[in-house]
Chain A
Amino acid sequence: MSQTVTLTIDGRQVQAEAGTTLLEAARSVNIQIPHLCSNEELAPYGACRMCMVEIRQGQRTRLVASCIYEVEEGLEVQTVTERVLNVRRLVIELLLARNPTHPTLLKMAADLGIEKTRFEVEVKGCILCGLCVRTCREVVGVSAIGFEGRGTSRRVTTPFNEAPPDCIACGACATVCPVGVIPLKDKAGIRTIWKTDYPLQRCESCGRIIAPVKQLEYFAKITNQPLSHFTEHCVHCR
């Protein structure tokens, strides 16, 4: 029962299905809006504020996060205005103060004409986009990690700062992190993540490493299959 909506983005007529976000609608006509915390696999979050755009409502205009705001019939959207650019410049400079070296951030800054931040740098690495926490909860389905603290004390952590009981060591958080600050190491049959060691399972047929034992156990549980189903063969020798 999908309905098509027509709107204008940067003066171009765009058609999109109702329920599409402005970010997606823009992308469909090759208008790129910089963004950091949105991901197609995850529910809208709207925290980095990089993706702001300006929309017109009657006489007034206002800024909205394009990763959340949905298309509306006749809506006029501007993705590059002075107000929008000011927010993006501020956001990227603020994030560079936490992470002054990551190429993704430096590239975004350069696109906005910024070389380095004017703010005092306190390297924290993590830019608090929440992709890891949300991937763990929404895609993996375990919520092994979460946020702790308010304001600038906010950080990603495991419950009570200890070995996370629900973690299956899948490493999705480390993979999704746009600035690569979650340490993950595979060495000598052991995966180390969130300061905890997890044995890796080898394929019983060909001996290649498949995945952490805990992850396979989790798969076995949610699919209601015996563990052996996942360990007897791997993708390479099946």
Chain B
Amino acid sequence: MKKIKSAAELNALQEELNARLDPNKPCIAICCGTGCMAHGTRNLVERFQQELADRQLTEKISLRRTGCHGFCERGPMVVLHPQKIFYQRIKVDDVPEIIDKTILGEEIIDRLLYRDPVTKEKVVHEYEVPFYKKQMRLVFGMNGMIEPTRIEDYLAIGGYGALAKVLTQGDPQAVIDDISAAGLRGRGGGGFPTGRKWNATRKAEGSPKYVICNADEGDPGAYMDRSLLEGNPHSVLEGMIIGAYAIGSSHGYIYVRNEYPLAVENITLAIDKAREMGLLGQDILGSGFDFDIVINRGGGAFVCGESSALFASIEGRAGEPRAKYVHATDKGLYDKPTCLNNVETWANVPLIINKGAQWYAGIGTEHSKGTKIFSLVGKINNTGLVEVPMGITLREIVFEIGGGIPKGRKFKAVQTGGPSGGCIPEAHLDIPVDFDELSKLGTMMGSGGMIVMDERNCMVDVAKYFLKFLEEESCGKCTPCREGIYQMRKILDRITNGEGKLEDLDTLEWMGQAIKDGSLCALGGSAPNPVLTTLRYFRSEYEAHIIDKKCPAGVCKALITYGIDPDKCTGCHACARVCPTGAATGEKKEVHQIDQEKCIKCGACYEACKFDAITIV
């Protein structure tokens, strides 16, 4: 494609591309997000291509390989446009039937439809699926409308229009005022007001100024930033270019985790294309504004997402936080004024410019505006990425969008904010999702991890799990974090082994506060949260481990014994078949038993028994 030399030329091109979009032309949108790819989507794409070619339909029916649709639980999946028919858990051999029956014959294939687990009814259209119904997919929804590798697709739906708008208006300060008025706050963890950060960088003395996109995302189970970069890289680029213009920066970086190959590939391609078209580089859209972006691949340490460690890593030094009391907006990368924002923060920018600050500020709560993407995982029916308006309740996310807890089990807690977030119990599920409300509960918005736990999760064990992760990711520079997390974890080890003392709980609380107060960076500064919140909301569970030497959830191996309930055992022999040590035995059709001497408490029988006959005490 040729270079675009002005905003007017861009608008003309957008219109031309948009006019080519035939809203009635059948289109098969296949989710090629990381989750679906893992389910074998590659073969599915090839089969579709093959079948369309065989039928000489490639001109009449288009195939769109999109980024993640969010409902990863149900992949591989396609949406058939224009009707928006939603098929899930598709197999390669379903492909001919989908083309012949549904696309050519307008007949719905019942077995590929999603079945609402609550109403037990089949759902035909994507927009009727309960998982999507309560979402507000302003940022993430575009994923389904474009092929991430085709800049034309992004342009056709109005992409880079926001950039053209700000360049035409020619008032960088007005852009910042818009972002401030919209009330956008950072999506990377801290929730810092984005407009204020931009303003500080703009006002700071020193040059060059840097603009950085933080795509280090390393929380276990979180993949929203990755999916945005994979599925809609141009929206992130457009946000960065607008930000750079507002701030007065010509140098951008994207710090992306090397373990995200597809994200790296798509963003690299997007940068090349944008540069080729005159949207990056010198004299962008003929405005005289220069800006370019370099990709920096991070080695994958969790702590490298912390701002000063990220700068050190880009500068080629050890990715370790630096103790300092100056703002990055004054002295950041190479000690120059730097504006660091999260992937999702950047992706919100074009939206605000296009639809206006007023509109954006109308979504959400008083101090938290817009939407937030969460990665909903754990003991939940609908695992996936969800984008919701701020102010929605946790209950709505867990029970309506998430479809509740599998196997009819009881909800116990939801952990928000990544590994150093806190665990919220049932009693607080009705609070609105909002930066400040979450911190009042001892947790945080974080970057958007949301892990659901049910009655079979032991909260002491959960706290230990997160602490273990943070212990391994602590850079080891400062004493409270390095030694403190380690010693807290040792105490939790003792408690889960039945060797805890009641005063350990006070020690944990005391340590937790001192580690938060004393640590050099926010990793240590938030690491105790999982312990502090579980102590606050689930103290009796800790006490059960210490006083009764019991793990009420039946998780902590040292504190449980497996047995068989003779009234429920049907003698199906399933337990004996899976038991690795031969501890579970019995004659077929007779009540089985477990030899405690041989039992290694692996829990295999518990998982295998279909009659709930295995007991844990």
Contact = CB atoms under 8 A, between A and B. Distances in A.
Secondary structure call for the B interface: helix
A65 B482 contact: no
A128 B482 CA distance: 10
A102 B473 CA distance: 29
B483 A97 contact: yes
Interface stretch (A144-152, A175-183, A220-228): A144-152
Interface in B311-326: 318, 323-325
A90 B478 contact: no
Contact of B478 (A49, A69, A149): A49
B564 interface: no
Interface string B498-534: 0000000001001101110111100000000000000
A125 to B, nearest CB: 14
Given A48-B479, A86-B513, A91 B518 contact: yes
Nearest to A62: B517
Contacts of A150: 301, 472-476
A90 B484 contact: yes
Give the one of B472, B513, B518 with max A CB within 10 A: B518
A44 interface: yes
B486 interface: yes
A89 B486 contact: no
Interface size on B, as a range, is 20 to 34
A47 B322 CA distance: 9
B480 interface: yes
Contacts of B318: 147
Given A47-B477, A48-B479, A150-B472, A64 B514 contact: no
Contacts of B513: 86
Interface string B8-33: 00000000000000000000000000
Given A87-B518, A119-B487, A49 B482 contact: no
B471 interface: yes
A151 B487 contact: no
A47 B513 CA distance: 18
A86 B473 contact: no
B304 to A, nearest CB: 11
Nearest to A86: B514
Given A91-B518, A151-B471, A98 B483 contact: yes
Interface string A48-88: 11101000000000011100111000000000000100110
16 contacts: A45-B323, A47-B477, A49-B479, A68-B325, A86-B510, A86-B514, A87-B480, A89-B514, A90-B510, A91-B518, A94-B480, A128-B482, A130-B477, A150-B475, A151-B474, A154-B482
Interface of B: 301, 318, 323-325, 471-480, 482-487, 490, 507, 510-511, 513-515, 517-520
